[in-house]
Chains A and B, each alone.
Chain A
């Protein structure tokens, strides 16, 4: 190898090392614990019992290092504009008759998904081997839209709000019956889609993917732990 070639090779190696270091450093900088929370007033069924119009809160503890393109149940990328965090611990809580009822979901049952193309974010599940980003609770329109379509990255601390959806088979324009979600100790949890605006020209369907839900809720991102 000539001296020139050796210099070029060393330069490439150094540059590669520098790029690698920058990527490593960037990943290190991004990898922080994150808390995702969603709230809505709705009907839930827990272990077969109806709890009407409760103040439901879903929580997901994850790590921003695990943000990646969302995949369906077969492992295929859903789209280049849909991101998720599938690794983490999800839980729920609501108040009923003066007491707080809470429980946990088995790991892997719930994920956080963000659609940066159409503007939606929330808690999803895989249901019966189908990617369901709008069940048990997701949001669109309102400030969600600008957040999700703009600079959203699931790493920026923020609270946004919008139309609330607990809708299985959302893209069909009509919500299918809700999926019972397994919890670790409390039996199955079912979250109902309340308050829809109907399209009279298409019986059984809602008016649109934004206006179809009259319900509202909030979605929050916090970095670090709750105690810091």
Chain B
């Protein structure tokens, strides 16, 4: 069935349109977890366990065309919640409708919870590359390319190789763009990485939690910090919600996709 879906995706991409392509309607839950900082209802939280959850249906997944011709999958119809655990205190915030969506750019290998108000990689994105965020060799806007872009293990751009930060989303993009790199991943690993938002699996990578680009942190203390608060809040039943990585210190994150069986 997936061959059919992706064949259909390719045809639609060729036509340059955005349309839902998963012909089978199944409930799906996306759960992304990381450690980060922010503020909810005016109360700051720091180095908290934060879980983003989006409950939707695979029939609402849309496919867009990336600049490098690979599909970008977006699921924007569903219910989002954010669970913040800090020092044993648990806050569950129900996000207002039409605020957040789930996005998987298979070209860059970046998976994210995007905001209708801010952009596709805020509040959280996994697998981003950035100059200060992840020591990219040139000044590139954060999250414009994936971690794998500036080097693989032994390094097409080996001087800047940052394979230590690779997650599963990086692995599949790396293997596809540098076919020689497939020797670094078992067939089992690659087979388990979901190729879209319509299949159960796990997408992981370095976590980017910033409504902009990171900057260098204080000398001797941190690699990078997010210098700005988002210009708009995420509206929730617990008050306005902002994310800004100040002390989380590059934790990485993981998103589980569970199709069916809710």
| Interface residue from A98, A215, A224 paired with B168 (Cβ < 8 Å) | A215
- Chain A residues contacting B85 (CB-CB under 8 Å) are 159, 220, 222
Residue contact A207 to B184, C-beta cutoff 8 Å: yes
Q: Is B47 an interface residue (CB 8 A)?
A: yes
B10 to chain A, nearest CB (A): 27
Question: Which one of A19-27, A101-109, A125-133, A192-200 is at the interface?
Answer: A192-200
Q: Is A147 an interface residue (CB 8 A)?
A: yes
**Chain A interfacial residues counted at CB < 8 A:** 51
- Chain A residues contacting B255 (CB-CB under 8 Å) are 41
Instruction: Give A129-148 as 1s and 0s: 1 = Cβ < 8 Å from B's Cβ atoms.
Output: 00000000000011110110
Q: List 11 A-B contacts (CB under 8 A).
A: A53-B256, A55-B31, A96-B261, A159-B49, A159-B85, A161-B34, A163-B252, A200-B184, A214-B171, A214-B204, A222-B85
| Interface residue from B33, B153, B185, B261 paired with A39 (Cβ < 8 Å) | B33
In the bound complex, CA of A158 to CA of B174 (Å): 33
In the bound complex, CA of A26 to CA of B85 (Å): 28
In the bound complex, CA of A157 to CA of B45 (Å): 12
Q: Is A177 an interface residue (CB 8 A)?
A: no
Interface residues of A (CB under 8 A from B): 35, 37, 39-42, 52-55, 95-98, 141-144, 146-147, 157-164, 194-200, 207-208, 210-211, 214-218, 220, 222-226, 228
- Chain A residues contacting B88 (CB-CB under 8 Å) are 35, 157, 222-226, 228
Instruction: Give B202-222 as 1s and 0s: 1 = Cβ < 8 Å from A's Cβ atoms.
Output: 101111000000000000000
- Chain A residues contacting B35 (CB-CB under 8 Å) are 143, 159-161, 218, 220
Residue contact A214 to B189, C-beta cutoff 8 Å: yes
A18 to chain B, nearest CB (A): 33
B154 to chain A, nearest CB (A): 9
In the bound complex, CA of A95 to CA of B34 (Å): 18
Q: Which residue of B lies closest to A34 (CB)?
A: B88
Going nearest first, the 8 A-B pairs with the smallest beta carbon separation are: A161-B251, A222-B88, A143-B249, A41-B256, A216-B252, A159-B35, A143-B251, A97-B261
Residue contact B261 to A200, C-beta cutoff 8 Å: no
B34 to chain A, nearest CB (A): 6
| Interface residue from B49, B167, B171, B185 paired with A216 (Cβ < 8 Å) | B167
Residue contact A216 to B47, C-beta cutoff 8 Å: no
Residue contact A214 to B166, C-beta cutoff 8 Å: yes
Residue contact B254 to A41, C-beta cutoff 8 Å: yes
- Chain B residues contacting A224 (CB-CB under 8 Å) are 88
Residue contact A53 to B171, C-beta cutoff 8 Å: no
Residue contact B185 to A198, C-beta cutoff 8 Å: yes
- Chain B residues contacting A41 (CB-CB under 8 Å) are 31, 202, 204, 254-256
- Chain A residues contacting B59 (CB-CB under 8 Å) are none
- Chain B residues contacting A197 (CB-CB under 8 Å) are 153, 163, 166, 171, 184-185
Residue contact A158 to B47, C-beta cutoff 8 Å: yes
Residue contact A198 to B171, C-beta cutoff 8 Å: no
In the bound complex, CA of A39 to CA of B204 (Å): 13
A64 to chain B, nearest CB (A): 14
In the bound complex, CA of A198 to CA of B184 (Å): 5
- Chain A residues contacting B250 (CB-CB under 8 Å) are 142-143
Q: Quick one: given A161-B34, A195-B168, are A216 and B254 in contact (CB under 8 Å)?
A: yes
B238-262 contacts to A (CB < 8 Å):
248-258, 261-262
Residue contact B253 to A200, C-beta cutoff 8 Å: no
